[in-house]
Amino acid sequence: DAEITQSPRHKITETGRQVTLACHQTWNHNNMFWYRQDLGHGLRLIHYSYGVQDTNKGEVSDGYSVSRSNTEDLPLTLESAASSQTSVYFCASSESGFPQHFGDGTRLSIL
Amino acid sequence: GQQVMQIPQYQHVQEGEDFTTYCNSSTTLSNIQWYKQRPGGHPVFLIQLVKSGEVKKQKRLTFQFGEAKKNSSLHITATQTTDVGTYFCAGYSGGGADGLTFGKGTHLIIQP
């Protein structure tokens, strides 16, 4: 069965460190998304991609970057982790206009 | 840009009572999607509504799409403890970010 997997599931790091969260999907979807979820804010879009070599900024992109070198993967990098980036991060994929499939999430704590 | 407002933010009900969450978009939508997120889990797609005035049912869940395609509702009849979670609507307008804008969700808390 097709799936979307995120790793790691949990991570603790220190401020100022670079952190990369992995997202891998086997749906063969063109569209991939990164969201962060914080209490009271729902799901906020960080970055998204419509296909290989395409990346776009979302609502809360400052301090984050992504790259899309193949269809399956969209890693999310925090260039210099800040405590405000402590959150739960979800990756999702879809075809345009169709429902998004979400990964299980990564709980990131920045101390 | 497009905004999707969802109310209420929290809803406490006694088990067996009904529950409704409402979703309103600032723009006309091509479709609206509903997702459920269990505590500690990830959002899971429930249903998509496309047509003006459309009503769809899934067992005790009834979904409606407004005539103007700018609002939607999810109604749960006779809630059960398995209904606990956060319900999100997501409006699709065909624009950037795949045109999907999520509401902030309604947290359903059920007291036995």
Q: With 80 as the cut, is the pLDDT of residue B1 above it? A: no
B96-106 pLDDT, tens digit per residue, is: 555 678 999 99
Question: CB A97 to CB B96 under 8 A?
Answer: no
| Residue whose pair of structure tokens reads 């409606």 in the numeric block | B64
Per residue in A39-98, pLDDT (tens digit) is 878 899 999 999 999 999 998 999 999 999 999 999 999 999 999 999 999 999 998 778
For residue B8, say if its preceding peptide bond is cis, omega within 30 degrees of 0: yes
Residue B103: list chain A partners with CB under 8 A: 42
Query: In this predicted model, which residue has the larger pLDDT, B3 or B74?
Result: B74
What is the C-alpha to C-alpha distance for residues A102 and A43, in angstroms, rounded to an integer? 12
Give the tens place of pLDDT for each residue, B50-88.
999 999 999 999 999 999 999 999 999 999 999 999 999
Q: Do A48 and B98 touch (CB under 8 A)?
A: yes
Q: Which residue from A40, A96, A103 is facing B98, i.e. has the nearest CB?
A: A96
Q: What is the pLDDT of residue B99?
A: 62
Cβ of A97 and B30 within 8 Å?
yes
State whether residue A10 sits within 8 Å of chain B by CB: no
CA distance B14 to chain A (A): 23
Q: What is the pLDDT of residues B6-56, one digit of tens each?
A: 999 999 999 999 999 999 999 999 999 999 999 999 999 999 999 999 999
Contacts of A77 (CB under 8 A, 6+ apart): A18, A19, A20, A21, A64, A65, A66, A67
Chain A: nearest CA to B97, how far in angstroms?
6
- Dist CA A2 CA A111 (whole Å): 35
List the structure tokens of B66: 């407004």
**pLDDT at residue B92, rounded to an integer:** 87
Task: Determine contact: A1 vs chain B, CB below 8 A.
Answer: no
The residue among B26 and B2 whose pLDDT is bigger is B26
Q: Is the pLDDT of residue A12 over 60?
A: yes
DSSP chain B: ---EEEE-SEEEEETTS-EEEEEEESS--SEEEEEEE-TTS--EEEEEE-STT-EEEETTEEEEE-TTSSEEEEEESS--GGG-EEEEEEEE-SSSGGGEEE---EEEEEE-
DSSP class of residue A73 equals B
Which of A41, A87, A100 to substitute to test the interface with B, most B CBs within 10 Å? A100
- Chain B residues whose beta carbon lies within 8 Å of the beta carbon of residue A94: 98, 100
